[in-house]
Chain A
Amino acid sequence: MLQRSGRMLGFALGMTGAAALVAGVSSAAMAEFQPQKPIEFVVMAGKGGGADKAVRFLQSIMAKENLASVPVIPVNKGGGSGAEALVYMKGKTGDDHTIMFTLNSFYTTPLRQPELGVDITTFTPVMRMAEDTFCLWVNVESGIDNIDGFVKAAKAKGKDWIMAGTGKASEDNLLTDYLNTAYGLEMKYVPYKGGGAVAKELAGKNADSTVNNPSEQEPFFKVGDASNKTKPIACFTPEPIYEGVPTFKDQGKDFVYFMQRSVVGAPGMSAEAAAYYQDLFTRVFNAKDWQAYRVKQKLQGDPLSGDALMAYWKKENEVHRGMLKEMGEIK
């Protein structure tokens, strides 16, 4: 089990030599970066989850439009709510062929586990591809039509009201805590492994509500169909995303929450490589398929890259620090 430290140690020493060799092979590449080998696209989640599906979709766009000269290969490092992926990226410091697809665990995991020694401001900002949205969902048979009805029903059930969500101290948990505080509720948060499982628990009436992403819950939201088992009550967005479904802002609670879907480069990536990936993902962002996917999955958020993305991270990091403190997860 020495290989971990071995890798770290060996890496720093070896990088200098490898860099010299690479430079010898292609001195022209220093001016304008071109990938020399397959690009590793690290996913902070396991195979088959929401982030994984998005990465494989991005990969397929790159393959279809022939945007990259080498294959872009998804590598799943889903361990420890993204901790494994973050530590892995830290170990890849200075690597020009490793990028990562991140979620909000990019902020929460290093905050909750300072012992990882991960500083997200050292990572290379590439491109924010979207911001995923959240809504409050209930089962159609619950008879709840609006937020007042929801609050009434949840208050009546007290601690027996089950809110299903993805993982502890995750986005879903933060939103649940917010609702509990804002409306004086005592909903019980039950963590499940993925958004798909959460959606199913609500549809099968094993949970009373969820704060799922539309992309995860929508298979059970089809008005006028037998699969219409769940419905949105209100959304955590600035503008309504479903007709007739208000936002929490409309309800007098000034609260908006998104999940970032961004591409991050390894810490210490060369400026040329960072420019290459920024350009690559700008083209992916503008691809017809990605635009269609954004509409379909109810994704929002303009593209952000470079310093603007870093500024966004710093801002969001502080927001999450505050939320986790309130939750009692960190001091």
Chain B
Amino acid sequence: MGWRLAGSLAISGRPFIGQKTMTVRTAELLMGLVMAVLSAYFMWKSAELPIFWVKGVGPGGGAWPFWLSAAMLASTIWILFKWVRRVGPVATNEDPLFEPGMFTPVAMVALALTGCIALVEGIGIGGFKGIGFYGALPLFIFFYLKVIGSHTWVSTITTAIVVPVLTFVFFEVLLQISLPKGMTEPLFLPIFAFIYSL
């Protein structure tokens, strides 16, 4: 079981820019800043509805999310304050966020998953309406087993076919939940015709 691409990719073990490896401490700062911005956005968005006490009614419609977002913001400031003061195990941790060689496998799985979801319905580029779950899943499984897992062709292709077929039987036939099919839709019409003629 090897990470075959791991060696061939220059970013191996070095996420982000250049040769410098991100430390846990740096990641803590970035996460704190991102979450602070997110909290502020939540507060701004909550303020579309009244955020103060409405007499005889109780808190306004935006109060619950607004004040909780404010608490989020306060706690991120607290986290950032501890970062500046170098308090706590995370804020003082100068180890790399990813140990050498650890970033690539995680990033590959994350990217494969993102690609798979993007393929299901498309992301609005060029009018591409996606190849549906039954198109994207075999590709995803194929990529995972063959490229990441270095499995044999037999087990790769078997899994890439069996899992989507079982998904179809379980969801579409048994549970009657239809999954998006995108441009592969017409291919399924004869299958449905066959199933419902039974």
Contact = CB atoms under 8 A, between A and B. Distances in A.
A17 B186 CA distance: 10
A3 B124 contact: yes
B121 A37 contact: no
A73 B176 contact: yes
B127 A9 contact: yes
B124 A6 contact: yes
A22 interface: yes
B183 A36 contact: no
Contact of B189 (A5, A9, A37, A159): A37
Contact of B123 (A6, A11, A22): A6
B186 A18 contact: yes
A330 to B, nearest CB: 17
A5 B124 contact: yes
Contacts of A40: 178
A13 B122 CA distance: 13
B125 interface: yes
B196 A25 contact: no
A73 B121 contact: no
A71 B56 CA distance: 50
Contact of B124 (A2, A21, A36, A73): A2
A36 B193 contact: yes
Nearest to A72: B176
Given A13-B129, A71-B176, A25 B190 contact: yes
Main secondary structure of the interface of A (DSSP, over half): helix
Interface in B150-198: 172, 176-178, 182-183, 185-186, 188-190, 192-193, 196
Contact of B192 (A2, A13, A70, A73): A70
B129 A14 contact: yes
Interface string B32-72: 00000000000000000000000010000000000000000
A7 interface: yes
A10 B122 contact: yes
A2 B189 contact: no
Interface string B96-138: 0000000000000000000000000111110111100000000
Contacts of B121: 3, 6-7, 10
Nearest to B187: A21
Nearest to A159: B56
Given A2-B124, A6-B124, A9-B127, A73 B196 contact: no
A6 B192 CA distance: 27
Interface of B: 56, 121-125, 127-130, 172, 176-178, 182-183, 185-186, 188-190, 192-193, 196
Given A14-B129, A37-B188, A38-B172, 16 more contacts: A3-B122, A6-B121, A6-B128, A7-B121, A9-B124, A10-B127, A10-B129, A10-B130, A13-B129, A18-B183, A18-B185, A25-B186, A36-B189, A36-B193, A69-B196, A159-B56
